[in-house]
Amino acid sequence: GAVVSQHPSWVICKSGTSVKIECRSLDFQATTMFWYRQFPKQSLMLMATSNEGSKATYEQGVEKDKFLINHASLTLSTLTVTSAHPEDSSFYICSARQTGASSYNEQFFGPGTRLTVL
Amino acid sequence: GQNIDQPTEMTATEGAIVQINCTYQTSGFNGLFWYQQHAGEAPTFLSYNVLDGLEEKGRFSSFLSRSKGYSYLLLKELQMKDSASYLCAVRDSNYQLIWGAGTKLIIKP
């Protein structure tokens, strides 16, 4: 099956620093990638939809200047949390939808990145 | 608004059968997904329904009734490793996934 990787798997940083998370589709091309955030014991919350070669579409309430998304190629999207604060500590998960797939269009999830901001 | 409802928590016994229900109200419908998520891990795909009826895949089955806005995930021969959260997600007319809050399933010996 299709594999999506994320790097790093966990990161601890100081308040005010920026953190970059990479999401890669390893064996397929992904026109569209999604970034989710999940707080403990809560469901996934879609942050933004990233389309290769164009600007990301952010969900209501998500600051685009704080969560910078770049989808420069069909296999890589990055999420940069700028000036991170403790309230940004969360589990960040990306998913990718295969280009040219059938209407089934399953999303394949990365393993997630646990961010802790001190 | 769009809404997905599923029970918060369920408990079942090892070896038994459990049914997790999901009801939805969304802007359009382009399929319903069930995912399994173990604590601290990303969701993994279980099933996909777009037409009414039952889809069986090993110990897991998923049912859909579009007219009722209803689905269930049936888990048979429960194993301890099935303890996890089960997420119901509906793809709306914009092909966005709308997520339920998840059902935490606790399996007891």
Q: What is the pLDDT of residue B86?
A: 97
CB contact (8 A) between residue A111 and residue B41: yes
Position A101 pLDDT exceeds 60: no
How would residue A100 be classed by pLDDT, with cut points 50, 70 and 90? low
Is A114 at the interface with chain B, CB within 8 A?
Answer: yes
CB contact (8 A) between residue A43 and residue B102: yes
CB contact (8 A) between residue B31 and residue A109: no
CB contact (8 A) between residue A42 and residue B95: no
* Residues 6 or more apart whose Cβ sits within 8 Å of residue A63: none
CB atoms closer than 10 angstroms to residue B14: 13
pLDDT digits 0-9 by tens, A27-40: 888 888 999 999 88
**Which residue among B41, B97, B99 places its CB closest to the CB of A112?**
B41
Average pLDDT, chain A: 89
Alpha-carbon gap, residue A98 to A25, rounded angstroms: 9
Q: How does strand A10-13 pair with strand A113-117? A: parallel
